[in-house]
Amino acid sequence: MKTGRNIVELAREIQRMTEAKRDYIAPTTSIEVEYNSSLSNLGLLMPSFDQTIYPMTPVAQRQIANWAGVPLKYLDLMAAEAPDLVAVNFNRWLGLSKDRRMIRTLDGNARAFLSDRYRRIDHEDVAEVALPILMGTGDTEIVSCDVTENKLYIKALFPRVRGEVAVGDEVQAGVVISNSEIGTGALSIQPLVYRLACKNGMIRADSSLRANHVGGRLSSEDVVSEVYKEDTLRADDRALLLKIRDVIGAVASQDSFNKMIARMREAQGGQKIERPTAAVEVLGKALNLRATEKDSFLENLIRAGDYSRYGALNAVTAIANNAPCYDRATELEELGGVVLDLPAREWARIAEAA
């Protein structure tokens, strides 16, 4: 499992971000995009509010493209070959629209272009509730955490909640709390299975808590305005965050974990992969694995010599340990859960691949 930051580093970065971010609500007619040829970047401006130019992150650029109906393939082509055309295209649609958007900035950069109904559940809100719960009992170990450009992640284990998938193959229960401030994911809590033999983590899709960032409109004014935390910190937000405590308790249940172990034991039986190279190609395509990841997957599968569904999910999650970034490492751990839950017909197609 990729470790990311330690808990002190995480807390410091969240605090730094809290102090450095600013949010604005603006009519699209008051938003402009400018290409700076000398700096080779795209900047967002709100001239009626101030003269600040906010360099745009790739996420913000894609969000504007999606809003305007500009195909992402065309956006990438313009960005590579004629970046000034990105500004021309964006400004055309911004000027014609009567929409109002939330612009989220951090460290002077425009990091998100969102609906004015976007519900801000920020990292400091989540950490303020989750960390005391996870660290206050003495029965929980935070094994990995990070805050990236896209998301906050907190991964913790419950060492007393454990079991064996097979003799000597011990696993522990855990939880993954994740959140996005920029529209790249909901606030969610998912079960984590940690395999002690190889220190791999598997995240299983779960709907115990999944809160989308959708709320009421923040302002009806037809001018640019800065919005503050107090504008959305309502009673329902507080109630949502307090649900974290209850969901963590449910995930840490031995009964709940026993059901997960039973499912993993089932995955040890059944149909086995007949031709590893062909199976990796089929499964790699289904999971959208990159070329280097497929190579690692095949190597892990052959080295372990376990061609069951259980062996396949472990071969996938093992890739996460050396993933280039924390976001991708977590995605690979989630793909382990996807393999576990594949329909029987889909798994048969992979196992029998020729």
Please give the average per-residue pLDDT across 285-299, as a whole number.
Answer: 96
Q: Residue 199 — pLDDT band, cuts 50, 70, 90?
A: confident
* Domain ranges, ordered by start, for the chain: 21-115, 123-254, 269-351
pLDDT at 129: 87
Closest to 306 in 3D by CA, of 264, 258, 260, 353: 264
Amino acid at 148: T
Closest to 334 in 3D by CA, of 288, 299, 280, 268: 288
In this structure, of 13-17, 183-187, 301-305, the range with the lowest mean pLDDT score is: 183-187
Cα–Cα dist 169/196, whole Å: 7
Measured at the alpha carbon of residue 108, what is the angle toward residues 107 and 109, in degrees to the nearest 5?
95
Q: How many CA atoms lie within 13 A of 187 on its CB side?
A: 25
Closest to 152 in 3D by CA, of 55, 15, 252: 15
Please give the average per-residue pLDDT across 122-147, as a whole number.
Answer: 89
Q: Tell me the pLDDT tens digit for each residue of 36-71.
A: 887 778 999 998 888 899 999 999 999 999 999 999
Q: Which two tokens stand for residue 106?
A: 């951090």
Q: Residue 221 — pLDDT band, cuts 50, 70, 90?
A: low
pLDDT at 337: 95
The model's pTM is: 0.90
Q: Tell me the pLDDT tens digit for each residue of 71-128.
A: 999 999 999 999 999 999 999 999 999 999 999 999 999 999 999 989 888 999 899 8
For tokens 């920020």, the residue is 122
